[in-house]
A and B are shown apart, each in its own frame.
Chain A
Amino acid sequence: MITLALIFFPLIASILVFLSGNNNAKKVALLGGLVQFVLSLVALSKYQVDPSSLAVNQAWLTSLGVNFTVGIDGIGIVLVLLTSFLIPIIILSTFEREFKNAAAFYALILFMSSALIGVFVSYNLLLFYIFWEAALIPIYFIAGYWGGEDRVKVTFKFFLYTIIGSLFMLVGIIYVYLQARSFDYTTLSALELTCSQQGWLFWAFFIAFAIKMPIFPFHTWQPNTYTTAPAAGTMLLSGIMLKMGIFGVIRWLVPISKAAFLCNGDIVIVFAVIGIVYGAVLAIKQDDIKRLVAFSSISHVGLIAAGLFAANELSLQGSVIQMFAHGVNVVGIFFIVDLIERRTGTRSIKELGGIINQAPLLSVFFVIIMLGSVALPLTNGFVGEFLLLNGLFQYHAGLAAVAGLSIILGAVYMLKMYQNVMLGESNEVTSNFAPLTLSEIIVLTVISATVIIMGVYPKYFLDLSQADIHSLVSSHCSSASCIK
């Protein structure tokens, strides 16, 4: 039941927010987000006692034989927690801004939360697809209506790009259904397909997931969309939504395409590794800090993707914990970017500088989140990066060494940005920088604390998904076959 509540509570909350009117919307939305977070903690406690208690299997579209099958496993729980942890933070992060049609804005965020949870708990492929597409609707409006310059053009491109990817997946889904006469996870996992069937299915699903993450060279919608969308939209996209693509690979691509997944790993990893270096190198000279972070995200996600396709226990465990860590850190950085832009009216590195003199507390948070992003040990970023690179190293040492360049390049662009934005003497743009407000301090404290707690004691988070990753690796990734 709690699983259904996780999906439908935010939907109800979304309607309530919409009805509460523009003045109260943000408070009601925050309350809704917090209740949702508590629900996810309840789910967590139930998960730790008995994961199967979270499964629900209801008859649904009987004519198609489709059941409403949901459940939460060790990978799903991490993403459910990530979603319900970040949604209230994202809502709180907007408290210093006033939005036109605020009720609609906050209602869309909660609607999105519902769809995202749906994606992460679906054990039915059709259900998964419905949630997958449903998640696109709110973000389309958030970015297209409340975004910055060029928002219509940029958002339309993003929409078109992802929807085209999804269509490939839809074709794949229909094909799988025709083969198995079922959308059910267990049935599909046991499905035996020929090599060429698996090959085509692999690419059909892969394109949808690769565009969502995005993996190089399907990434060009990302920097523009991240830069143009309002901060909350960028946080939703980078913090949670891109994890849909990564999650999709683990949940559906691996069991459906089996052998094709393993034998196409090489080519995908090569592109992912190119993306790691490419994103990091391009981030270095960006003047717009939002765009800089967007490119750094391409680099980070590239590593997660590479780990995914390296498909060993270390790399998969690394990608799961890194999904959480990246989500937290990237939301933290985009929030800092937003509060700087709000105060100074600019995101240009050239125009900023010396903010530390006015807001020393901000620099402390900035440093902590930055360290998480550059994967310093004892921060959350290190655990994931270490496991990912180690797993990738087991797959191919040379590729891991190239991917490891991000250890150096990450420090180059992050420290450069921090130095030019925060340090030095203040200038006319930054000399009146207002101190942090209470809501900002709360957001940054929660994020910074998470960065450190996960980094110092990662075992708790790793243990959540350990068993499921182990069985995934042993059942699908170590050996897989197809009918010749």
Chain B
Amino acid sequence: MKELVKFIPLLPLAGFLVNGLLNKKMPKTMAGLLASSVMAFAFIISFSTFLSIKDQPNASFVVNIYDFINVGSLKIPFSFLIDPLSVLMMMIITGVGFLIHIYSMGYMHDDEGQVRFFAYLNLFVFFMLLLVMGSNYIIMFIGWEGVGLCSYLLIGFWYKNQNYNDAAKKAFIVNRVGDLGFILAIFLIFNQFGSVQFADVIASASKLGTGSVMLTAITLLLFVGATGKSAQLPLFTWLPDAMAGPTPVSALIHAATMVTAGIYMIIRSNILFTLSPTTCAVIAGVGVATALFAATIGLAQNDIKKVLAYSTVSQLGFMFLALGVGSYTGALFHVMTHAFFKALLFLGAGSVIHAVSGEQDIRKMGGLKGKLTITFITFLLGTIAISGIPPFSGFFSKDEILAAAFSYSPILWGLGAVAAFCTAFYMFRLLFLTFFGTFRGTEEQKHHLHESPISMTLPLMVLAVLSVVGGYANIPAVLGGGEYLAKYLAPVLAPTTEYIAAHGHKAHLSHETEYALMGASVVIALIGIILAYVTYVAKKAVPAEDGAELGFLHKLILNKYYVDEIYDAVFVKPLYALSSFGYKFVEVSGIDKLVNLTSDSFVLGSKVSSKLQTGNVGTYLLLMVIGVIAILAYNFSRI
């Protein structure tokens, strides 16, 4: 097994190189086939690795590839850590990734840039695998920035459109703000622990003690990195814009995998965070605020992909809430179920967009359930899953998070429940407006309505099954479940578990409370669904046209709280102004003027002194007399 593991990232890398180097010479159909088959093999190896390490407490191992950087005491091997956490992530990445590759073969069928598309997609998977497989923070950082690059390339895939290019640039730059935090955290880690290997850092973290300033600084900086990649407040603004990329990209990168990197990073460093209660409180706060903030924006969006984008931001907020309250398993559980149902929803949206000739405005859709049966049924299953209705997967993962939040603070539970209510509402609003009622698009679009080809519907069906049953991975004990995921992850979370066992402050909820919380969250979700049904099916309401008069609140959330406008005014414009000002006034008429003045003063000085040499004997005599008088006067004054 150990020998095969390195092929998991190498396969997609090879796919990238072949497609990328051959490019124009590569037959278009072959490109997708090649890209998908390397994914299939990578998944098979990941899955067999999973089989070989599950049920074994000490099955994790490190695979060394080569020495990356060795300078003084800084030793960074290029090596992979294979343990339950990385293997689970590898399976999600290669598994969901494989399905999305298959789907893309249908979705991108007519695009002339197909070969380039699959090359980028494979490259993304390569970097994403480095991110989760790296055995130290540097390899993780390589993957971290690498996926950012691929995200940039894929958001701006249709490069003729400068709006898309703007979105790509924004994603890269905003992510780099987070990356600065991440790299500073790595410097602190190296200075503190003398190593960047996870094993070394985790082993000596507890020596620093709970709430140490150093650990708080490290974890806060790591979290800054996470807010960039995982689109949390205040760095979330790039993600909705990232929807400019082709829909399979939104599903793979901007829903299922890359955006969960921040959560992965925190779980990987779990003991550092457990030891920093301040950071945890910040994370819980930011997480729940993001969940709520993005969910309210989602209520009023009319672009099918924008709704899903804000939904993703919101769901990621839930995951951070889980991390903040110490439920690492809950966070990862939600990463997994979210990967299933959000990939499904995005791919479903892609199928819809495909059917209505590129239209993305849900006000111009409607009544599609008759024509797009498979898309509709699978989309419905995904919607139920994300809304948190049992026994679908989203119910279990969300419930675990909310229960953990409740034991941390009932207020967090309350805020989370409001976000969950919004989720159920906007998702069913989306479903009803898209698939129910009558078609509101043009006659021509209506004429072309068709179900997508099997390459697209098959992944939908597989993901739909996973969205339904995925929750069985970690059914809570109170419902008679086996909590497999928790047991599986136990070795990774052992430092945290031991710490809590030693300090014994984990409050356990009574069974009654757990039942009550579950009941409450189901009721809340149902109210959201019913409200959406009444509004958009029974009353047949359609959101107002652009430019219509709206109430203040409606306008505020439709315009996403004007966050983009605020950032533009506070950061972008001043930076540009500073750049122009600096050039005109500091550089050209400041420093350079001074330099020129210095040389001018020499010229001037030489002119003045050359005037003294006039050749006129009278002037010389006069100056001599003045000089003699001055000397005499000076001498006399001293007596």
Binding site for B on A (CB under 8 A): 157, 160-161, 217, 219-221, 223, 278, 281-286, 313-314, 317, 354, 356-357, 371, 376-378, 383, 386-387, 389-390, 393-394, 397, 400-401, 404-405, 407-408, 411-412, 415-416, 419, 423-425, 457-459, 462-463, 466, 470
Contact = CB atoms under 8 A, between A and B. Distances in A.
B69 A457 contact: no
Contacts of A223: 587
A412 B591 contact: no
Contact of B146 (A378, A397, A457): A378
Given A281-B575, A377-B146, A390-B74, A404 B587 contact: no
A408 B180 contact: yes
Given A404-B180, A408-B177, A282 B583 contact: yes
Contacts of B560: none
B149 A419 contact: no
15 contacts: A160-B599, A278-B582, A281-B582, A282-B579, A354-B160, A356-B159, A377-B141, A386-B69, A390-B187, A400-B184, A404-B184, A407-B183, A419-B166, A419-B169, A466-B70
Contacts of B188: 393, 397
A313 B71 contact: yes
B268 to A, nearest CB: 18
Interface of B: 66-72, 74, 138, 141-142, 145-146, 149, 152, 156, 159-162, 165-166, 169, 172-173, 176-177, 179-180, 183-184, 186-188, 190-191, 575-576, 578-580, 582-583, 586-587, 591-592, 595, 599
Contacts of B138: 377, 386
Contact of A161 (B142, B578, B595): B595
A286 B584 CA distance: 11
B162 A424 contact: yes
A82 B142 CA distance: 26
Contacts of A404: 180, 183-184
Contacts of B576: 284-285
A424 B187 contact: no
A408 B173 contact: yes
A394 B72 contact: no
B72 A412 contact: no
Of A383, A419, A425, most B-chain CB atoms within 10 Å: A419
B127 to A, nearest CB: 9
B123 to A, nearest CB: 11
A466 B176 contact: no
Contact of B70 (A281, A376, A386, A459): A459
A332 to B, nearest CB: 18
B580 A285 contact: yes
A356 B595 CA distance: 41
A284 B579 contact: yes
B186 to A, nearest CB: 8
Contacts of B595: 161, 220-221
B562 to A, nearest CB: 22
B191 A393 contact: yes
B457 to A, nearest CB: 33
A459 B149 contact: no
B575 A284 contact: yes
Given A220-B592, A377-B141, A407-B179, A412 B173 contact: yes
Nearest to B598: A164
Please indicate which of the listed interface residues B176, B179, B586 has the most CB atoms of chain A within 10 Å of its own CB.
B176
A408 B176 contact: yes
B145 to A, nearest CB: 5
B70 A462 contact: yes
A464 B169 CA distance: 37
A357 B113 CA distance: 12
Contacts of A394: 187, 191
Contact of B183 (A389, A424, A462, A470): A389
A359 to B, nearest CB: 13
A383 B68 CA distance: 10
A357 B146 contact: no
Contact of B578 (A281, A357, A386, A389): A281
Nearest to A291: B583
Contacts of B177: 408
B244 to A, nearest CB: 13
A282 B187 contact: no
A390 B173 contact: no
B165 A419 contact: yes
A377 B69 contact: no
Given A376-B149, A411-B173, A423 B68 contact: no
Contacts of A389: 183, 187
Contact of B71 (A376, A408, A466): A466
A407 B180 contact: yes
Given A390-B187, A393-B191, A408-B173, A357 B160 contact: yes
Contacts of B579: 281-285
Contacts of B161: 424
Contacts of A376: 145-146, 149
Contact of B142 (A160, A377, A401, A462): A377
B224 to A, nearest CB: 11
A161 B149 CA distance: 41
B172 A411 contact: yes
Contacts of B145: 376-377
A383 B183 contact: no
A327 to B, nearest CB: 20
Contact of B591 (A220, A314, A356, A466): A220
Given A286-B583, A377-B142, A407-B179, A314 B72 contact: yes
B70 A412 contact: no
Contacts of A354: 160
Given A285-B583, A357-B160, A407-B176, A459 B67 contact: yes
Given A285-B576, A423-B159, 8 more contacts: A278-B586, A281-B578, A284-B575, A314-B74, A386-B138, A393-B187, A407-B179, A424-B165
Contacts of A286: 583
A223 B162 CA distance: 29
A217 B143 CA distance: 37
Nearest to B73: A313
A401 B146 CA distance: 22
Contacts of B578: 281
Contacts of A457: 66
Nearest to B24: A360
Most buried by A among B141, B173, B183, B575: B183
A400 B401 CA distance: 38
A423 B156 contact: yes
A383 B76 CA distance: 11
A459 B68 contact: yes
Contact of B69 (A220, A357, A458): A458
A425 B141 contact: no
Contacts of B582: 278, 281-282
A276 B141 CA distance: 23
Q: Which 8 A-B pairs have the closest CB atoms?
A: A285-B579, A377-B142, A220-B592, A313-B72, A393-B187, A284-B579, A423-B159, A415-B169
